[in-house]
Structure 1
Amino acid sequence: MKKLIALTVTACFFAMASFAQSGADAIVGIWLNQEKDAKIQIFKKGNEFYGKLVWLKNPKETNGQDKKDTKNPEEAQRNRLLMGLEILKGFKYDTDDVKWADGSIYDPKSGKTYSCKLTLKDKNNLNVRGYIGVSIIGRTDIWSRSN
């Protein structure tokens, strides 16, 4: 009987861990930003989540060159291509509040980096809240899941 209880508890533990893992991975995929001019692929590295630009509506400059990170405050970074650039970094899944927090978002249009948290509005819409200091002082964009 004790072995049966131990086996049941172990099975429940693994089922809950699997559920928590799938909940954490719910943001993995490709998302279209609110302006509909970029797609960001969110992926997992270790226990953290990151996002990189994988599509741009206008990937080229007027001279035909690929767009670069020209607004970056670090001069040495200004020659990086925007395509493939990691703009979301270091998000950790918070099971209590069902959100991804403690990360940052880089805005290549301004060259600024903000603290950020991500919250699924539903399975196809992601609230992306960028802020300075506390999340009350910030802005939320809604990204939509891309096919």
Structure 2
Amino acid sequence: MTRRFFGLALLLSLLAAAFSVQAAPNPDAVLGVWKNGEGTGMIQIFKKGDKYFGRIVWLKVPNNPDGTPRTDVNNPDEAKRKTPLKGLENMRDFTFTGDNKWEEGKIYDPKNGNDYSCQMTLVDPNTLEVRGFIGVSLFGRTDVWKRQVKK
């Protein structure tokens, strides 16, 4: 009887330990290439120092009707309007804050030339919620991105 009790106690202890161990946070889990929710572009998220950035690496419509590469025509800075969209760094300065979240970043929308505060949440290994907002995150929009390529 005591053997059975100790065996059961050992099994319960092992199960409790297994369920209490959580995966260590991985700040680099967001690295890779992601397709935006509309399917019109892909953004490569990369790291510089301890901050995370993104650049446009693919566009569904890469060229203008005349065959020239699309540029940042809506940029409020006239000097940047000839910058190609492909290769444009449109996400910057994200910090990993734990719980699969990257916050305190900025995202630039070349469709309208506006910059927004932004945060990212990794929902699962292949789904990223990107929320752009003005002021507080309550006033914003979330786009769901799908992983295309891991780093």
Length-normalised TM-score, structure 1: 0.84
Aligned: 1:32 with 2:26: no
CA contact (8 A) 2:71 2:85 kept: yes
Aligned: 1:89 with 2:92: yes
Report the Cα distance in structure 2 between the residues aligned to 1:132 and 1:106, rounded to whole angstroms. Answer: 12
> Which is greater in Rg?
2
> Which aligned pairs between 1:11-50 and structure 2 lie closer than 5 A?
19-20=24-25, 23-50=26-53
- Per-residue Cα deviation, 1:45-94 (whole angstroms, up to 9, x for no partner): 00000000000011000011000000001111101000000011000000
Query: Is the partner of 1:25 in helix, strand or coil?
Result: helix
- Per-residue Cα deviation, 1:99-147 (whole angstroms, up to 9, x for no partner): 1000000000111110000001111000000000000000000000014
Instruction: Tell me the equivalent position of 2:123.
Output: 121
* Structure 1 residue runs without a partner (length 5+): 1-18
Q: Stretches of 4+ moved more than 6 A in 1?
A: none
Query: Is the partner of 1:80 in helix, strand or coil?
Result: coil
Q: CA RMSD in A?
A: 0.9
* Structure 2 residue runs without a partner (length 5+): 1-23
Give the percent of matched residue pairs that are identical in Structure 1 and Structure 2: 49
CA contact (8 A) 2:69 2:84 kept: yes
